[in-house]
Structure 1
């Protein structure tokens, strides 16, 4: 058992090289899409303000759809990593096959629904007819990439589960590199290509997504795993997905409410909130890469029946994440007078950034704990608890303080106090859950924590529920 688990990399003390070997490529995948979107915005921005507004509205609609379906990556990782840890590589890849079937089916349904409802939805969000028309033209083309985006999510999920985060990075970069070349060529009609303007951005996106999705599909076909659909497995994945979707909706409700309330405090406040929130998203992406490593390693350890090893991993990876978060916090604390000036020279906006800044810095170490333990519990398949904890913390902590901030004119201080309370409550919840040990059930043949009763596996180092 010891030799096998060491070969799989699921012991309780993986090397720093092993952890970083999982985390850094995962960070590359997480960061690649936002960086490409900034490039896309810059290319379209050289057309005119109307095209940029259309891209913003259309991109928002497509992003909201894909954001709610991250269970195809995170849920698949949780299931595949257990099978990988148990030595069932074929079964781990088979989880990816079923997730890919789900991704294709859900993606095609999204294409149909968006084509039917695109005009009223863009009209509601855009307000003006000109912006809505521009968004509609982009969205009708870009939405054909929805099945491809979801297939890539599923591919990332099973490959993380078998502890291969480098191949997904290569696949994603191959697609984005092609999109990056095509985008300016098609938008501005370079090198003799037709000048498609805003639609050229959508075409470039879809072509790149075809390449990335094709790479993942080819990898599955070559793996030798059975390719036929298995409804029972897909149903289990959807149950896990239900919990993760509800959790994601809680986040969306919180951050959309925060943006809406910040807008009520004036242009300087909403601009400052956006700057600090984007920096927070950057920090979150960085910490999430370690959470992915935690999810992968803990899931594999439990699949191998190494419950005590999984608990050791939870402690070690949480310490790593917390120390890393503290270092990031120190950097932003020292840069409090310099970093905001990189984003704006407006004194009023800088003054508002200063209001939110120290909340932003203070919650980073808390986030280090929360993100790591989120990864641990996701790796254990404890999605039902994470759903309940996130919803509860949002209802009790974040949302009341956001709306009280509006009622009592607390400004950004109130909004960021709400985020701080939200993160502290989440930290208390996941620390309590992790310390309880109820998540740590070994073996590959179990019902993952989706509200169903757990059946202990047959590993030699297990504890019961």
Structure 2
């Protein structure tokens, strides 16, 4: 059994603080797009909301490339098998590239049908299709970034992903401003700026992975058995993520049917919620890396102690973020140059978004802990159950004439259901499986 140091608050912060910066940079990509595209009008923001939701869904379905890789690599590190850990990461990069190319090929012809499914208004339709089709060229790079991030997190390195995220975000902001505001390429310029920034980030991860392979004398060639194993192990996480994305897609579809102003306000609120979620998810990332490593080393007591600490911190950080959001409510619409009708909707809906943050903090921590433990099958079933709880609530919002606030209250019910299912599992011992 490999030994690993006792996990304390300092160790959690060492992983969580850089992860926080990297995770916050990810939704900032799209928030920058919203801030710049907002200058093009409400229809452009609505188009970005639909295309952004569809694109994020495609990528998030493949988030197992990061989460699964983090857990697998960290467990091997804890068991003392670093070479095996790096090889698993290389296989993950090959899998990411293949999936990305398939999604690009399939998504291009289906883009109009995807946008139509959301019930887009005529003034929104063309812009959404344009943004989605261009952004598909960046999907392979985004998936490589996911897999590369998983490798480094599993190796207990969250600083390098932070540096890559900051560089990509800065480049994305500059390119979006140039293409949209100076060259007047419209919403297409925003999409191209993001694609180019993502491509540069992927290139950096490929260089870092090649260096790690050379250091540990690991082949860069794909091992078909390893690639297949990585894909098979990710099936349960795909089910988990699909269920999560169904909830958010249905929410966007419901908002779309309320009107263009409601759709624009919901799109902005969703991105703000995502930004806060990524901030809280920093603890979950630390949980994935720490739990994978400690269970790999057979140290369940350390796993339990770290989990308790991160849950308490999740509640506290969620409360801080919620209070900050309430304080900033009056100025947020101005950041997106929102029209008066959009601003009115947005200010109202930010209340339930803010009040749900402490709950979200606990949910994200427990989700990360169970992912780090490799408890994928339970996560898949739990996500299906919680989605089933949400869908009737969303149906009631539509057919009882509820507004955006009611829609976000329904999303709060979904998060509560997630807390119940994840908390019940974490309280038991079935997930505490040790060894490499």
Deviations 1:137-156 (A, max 9, x none): 54444322211111001001
**Equivalent position of 2:297 in the other structure:** 304
1:123–1:129 CA contact under 8 A, matched in 2: no
Return closer, same or farther for 1:241/1:268 CA change in 2, 3 Å cut-off: same
Of 420, 430, 438, the match for 2:430: 438
Is residue 103 from structure 1 mapped to residue 96 from structure 2 by the alignment? yes
Of 370, 378, 396, the match for 1:377: 370
**Equivalent position of 2:175 in the other structure:** 182
**Alpha-carbon distance between aligned partners in 1 of 2:108 and 2:263, rounded to the nearest angstrom:** 32
SS state at 1:439 partner: coil
Return closer, same or farther for 1:28/1:410 CA change in 2, 3 Å cut-off: same
2:118–2:252 CA contact under 8 A, matched in 1: no
2:27–2:278 CA contact under 8 A, matched in 1: no
**Alpha-carbon distance between aligned partners in 2 of 1:421 and 1:177, rounded to the nearest angstrom:** 36
Return closer, same or farther for 1:328/1:238 CA change in 2, 3 Å cut-off: same
**Equivalent position of 2:411 in the other structure:** 419
**Alpha-carbon distance between aligned partners in 1 of 2:167 and 2:316, rounded to the nearest angstrom:** 33
**What's the offset of the Cα at 1:257?**
2.7
**Equivalent position of 2:280 in the other structure:** 287
**Alpha-carbon distance between aligned partners in 2 of 1:73 and 1:38, rounded to the nearest angstrom:** 22
**Equivalent position of 2:420 in the other structure:** 428
1:393–1:425 CA contact under 8 A, matched in 2: yes
**Alpha-carbon distance between aligned partners in 2 of 1:442 and 1:131, rounded to the nearest angstrom:** 51
Return closer, same or farther for 1:316/1:59 CA change in 2, 3 Å cut-off: closer
Return closer, same or farther for 1:324/1:147 CA change in 2, 3 Å cut-off: same
**Alpha-carbon distance between aligned partners in 1 of 2:25 and 2:261, rounded to the nearest angstrom:** 29
Unaligned runs of 5+ in 1: 445-465
**Alpha-carbon distance between aligned partners in 2 of 1:172 and 1:328, rounded to the nearest angstrom:** 22
**Alpha-carbon distance between aligned partners in 1 of 2:296 and 2:181, rounded to the nearest angstrom:** 52
**Alpha-carbon distance between aligned partners in 1 of 2:392 and 2:149, rounded to the nearest angstrom:** 36
**What's the offset of the Cα at 1:432?**
1.6
Is residue 209 from structure 1 mapped to residue 198 from structure 2 by the alignment? yes
**What's the offset of the Cα at 1:366?**
2.4
**Alpha-carbon distance between aligned partners in 1 of 2:424 and 2:347, rounded to the nearest angstrom:** 33
Q: Which moved more, 1:134-143 or 1:282-291?
A: 134-143
**What's the offset of the Cα at 1:316?**
1.8
Deviations 1:32-76 (A, max 9, x none): 132232333444555677766665554444333112111111111
**Alpha-carbon distance between aligned partners in 1 of 2:266 and 2:49, rounded to the nearest angstrom:** 18
**Equivalent position of 1:173 in the other structure:** 166
1:271–1:349 CA contact under 8 A, matched in 2: no
**Alpha-carbon distance between aligned partners in 2 of 1:105 and 1:167, rounded to the nearest angstrom:** 24
1:340–1:350 CA contact under 8 A, matched in 2: no
**Alpha-carbon distance between aligned partners in 1 of 2:377 and 2:167, rounded to the nearest angstrom:** 35
Is residue 404 from structure 1 mapped to residue 393 from structure 2 by the alignment? no
**Equivalent position of 2:83 in the other structure:** 90
Return closer, same or farther for 1:307/1:169 CA change in 2, 3 Å cut-off: same
SS state at 1:219 partner: helix
Per the normalisation by structure 1, the TM-score is 0.81
**Equivalent position of 2:105 in the other structure:** 112
**What's the offset of the Cα at 1:378?**
0.5
2:119–2:253 CA contact under 8 A, matched in 1: no
1:78–1:381 CA contact under 8 A, matched in 2: yes
Return closer, same or farther for 1:123/1:394 CA change in 2, 3 Å cut-off: closer
**What's the offset of the Cα at 1:302?**
0.5
Q: What number of residue pairs does the alignment pair up? A: 428
Of 360, 368, 372, the match for 2:361: 368
**Alpha-carbon distance between aligned partners in 1 of 2:106 and 2:342, rounded to the nearest angstrom:** 43
1:22–1:165 CA contact under 8 A, matched in 2: yes
**Equivalent position of 2:155 in the other structure:** 162
**Alpha-carbon distance between aligned partners in 2 of 1:406 and 1:198, rounded to the nearest angstrom:** 30
**What's the offset of the Cα at 1:263?**
5.3
Higher relative contact order (CA 8 A, sep 6+): 2
**What's the offset of the Cα at 1:210?**
2.4
Per the normalisation by structure 2, the TM-score is 0.85
**Equivalent position of 1:249 in the other structure:** 242
Q: Larger C-alpha radius of gyration, 1 or 2?
A: 1
Unaligned runs of 5+ in 2: none
2:172–2:193 CA contact under 8 A, matched in 1: yes
